[in-house]
Amino acid sequence: MNVTIDTNRLQAELGQLAAFSSSQGPGVTRVLWSEADQQARAFMRRLCDQAGLRVREDALGNLFARWVGSAPDLPAVASGSHIDAIPDSGRYDGTVGVLGALEAIRALQQAGFQPQRSLELILFTAEEPTRFGIGCLGSRVLAGTLDPAALRQLRDRAGATLDELRAAAGFVGDLGQVALAPGCYSAFLELHIEQGPLLEQAGLPIGIVRAIAAPASLRIALHGQGGHAGAVLMPARHDALLAAAEIALAVEAAALATGSPDTVATTGVLRIEPGAINSIPARALLEIDVRDIASAPRDQALAAIERAADEICARRGIHAERTLLNADPPAMGDPALIELVAQACQEHGIGHQVMVSRAYHDSLFMARVCPTSMIFIPCRGGVSHRPDEYAAPEAIARGVEVLARSLAAASVMP
C-alpha cells in the first residue's frame, strides 16, 4: 500500500492551530474552554467534517471523529491526543497526535484503503492540568477513574466550577454518560513528540513506548507564624518558607534514595504569603510530583517525603495539611501492539527503538480501556513545554506514516 503523507498540508494545519492562542507568539497558550481553545476546537471539527468523518462530542468536550469501517459493529481502533497548551508553550505537544491521526486517516483514504474496524480520532479534553490542577481530565473520565461527583467539586483559580465553565462552552450533557463502554475499542495508539532527547541522541526516527510513568501529586499547605522581619528574633520564629525549603530538599533526597533510575520527584509549585520583603512568611503551599514506571519505588519516595515533612514541621513548629491529589498506576504498553508498530517500521526500513515515556499522556488512562501503546518522534534537544519546542517536518511525516500503517494493520486484526 502506497501511503503518502501530505507534509505541506500538515505543517500548514499545525501553524493554523498554533495561531489559536491567548498569548502573543512564538509561544502558545490554549487553556481549556478559553476563547482560543474554543476556536481551535471549531477548527478541528471543520477539518474532520472535510475528511468525511462522523463527528460527535461528549458532555466533557472530548471529540470523536470516526471513519466507519466495513465491519462497524466490531470494536474500533482509536488514535489521538490533546490540543490544550500550558501558558507560553510549544506548538507540537499533543497537536502532532491529533492532526497526525487525522492526516494518517486521510493518507489511508487517499491510498484506497478500506478499514475493517472503524478508525476513530479522539481529541481529549484538558490533558494539561492548567485549569483545574488535574491532568488528563478527559481521558480519566473516559476510563471511569473520575466520577461526576468528583468532577462537580473541581474549580479553577477564579472559583468557577467545571459545570459552570463547560456549560458556558456549550457542553451541557450528562457527565455520567462520558465513561466509555467496555470493549468499545480494540486498540489505541497515540503519536507524540518524545519530550526528551533519547531519540535525537540515538539518531533514530521512531520510539515505541513499552511503559508510561505515572505521577503521584502531593499538596502540602504549611501554616507558620508571620511577623515583622526586624522585630521577631530568630529563635522565636516559625517560618513557613524555611520549612517548605527543607521539604523541597527532602523531595530530591527521597527520589535519589529509591535506587530506581526511573524515580523522579519535583517541587513544581511553591507559593508563600504574605510575600513581602519585610514580613516573615506565615504560609506556604507546595505541590509535588513524584513518578516512576513502577508503583513501588514511586510510593516509597512519596512515603519518605511525607515522613520528612512531618519531622520538619514538628521541629519548626509548623502546622501542615497534606492532600494526595492523585496516585495513578503506571501503564504498560500492549506487547502485540508494540510488535505491530515495530513490524510497520521494519517492513519499510524505518529505524526504531522500544522505550519508556517518562511524561504521562492520555494513553496512561486509555490503557485501562483497551490495548495501548505510543509512537514517539524526536524533538530538537528534547525540549518541550517551551516556545522553542520543535519537531522537524520530516520527523512528523515519518511518525504519521508509521501511525497510518499501524492503524491499517490494527483495523484488520481478528
- Domains of the chain, each with CATH number or no CATH: 7-213+330-411 (3.40.630.10), 214-327 (3.30.70.360)
Are 406 and 189 spatial neighbours (Cβ–Cβ below 8 Å)? yes
* Residue 28 DSSP SS3: strand
CA dist., res. 383 & res. 196, Å (int): 7
Name, in order, each residue with C-beta under 8 angstroms of 58's C-beta and a sequence gap of 6 or more.
64, 171, 173, 177, 178
The HSE-up count of residue 113 (CA atoms within 13 Å, CB side) is: 27
Count Cβ atoms within 10 A of the Cβ of residue 63 and give its class: 0-12 exposed, 13-18 middle, 19 or more buried. Answer: buried
CA dist., res. 30 & res. 42, Å (int): 13
- CA nearest neighbour of 120 among 65, 188, 46, 190: 65
CA dist., res. 237 & res. 254, Å (int): 27
Cis peptide upstream of residue 26 (ω within 30 degrees of 0)? yes
CA dist., res. 63 & res. 101, Å (int): 13
Chain centre to alpha carbon of residue 183 = 23
Low-confidence ranges of the chain (pLDDT < 70): none
**Per-residue buried b or exposed e for 84-97, using 16+ beta carbons within 10 Å of the residue's own CB:** bbbebbbbbbbbbb
pLDDT at 414: 84
Outline where 237-388 has alpha helix (H): 240-257, 295-316, 335-347, 363-366
pLDDT at 38: 98
Bridge partner list, 288: 218, 267
CB count in 10 Å sphere of residue 114: 13
Bridge partner list, 198: none
> What pLDDT digit, counting tens, does each position of 224-278 carry?
999 999 999 999 999 999 999 999 999 999 999 999 999 999 999 999 999 999 9
pLDDT at 208: 98
* Residue 241 DSSP SS3: helix
> What pLDDT digit, counting tens, does each position of 320-362 carry?
999 998 899 999 999 999 999 999 999 999 999 999 999 989 9
Bridge partner list, 64: 56, 122
To the question of pTM greater than 0.95 for the whole model, the response is: no
pLDDT at 133: 87
Are 358 and 262 spatial neighbours (Cβ–Cβ below 8 Å)? yes
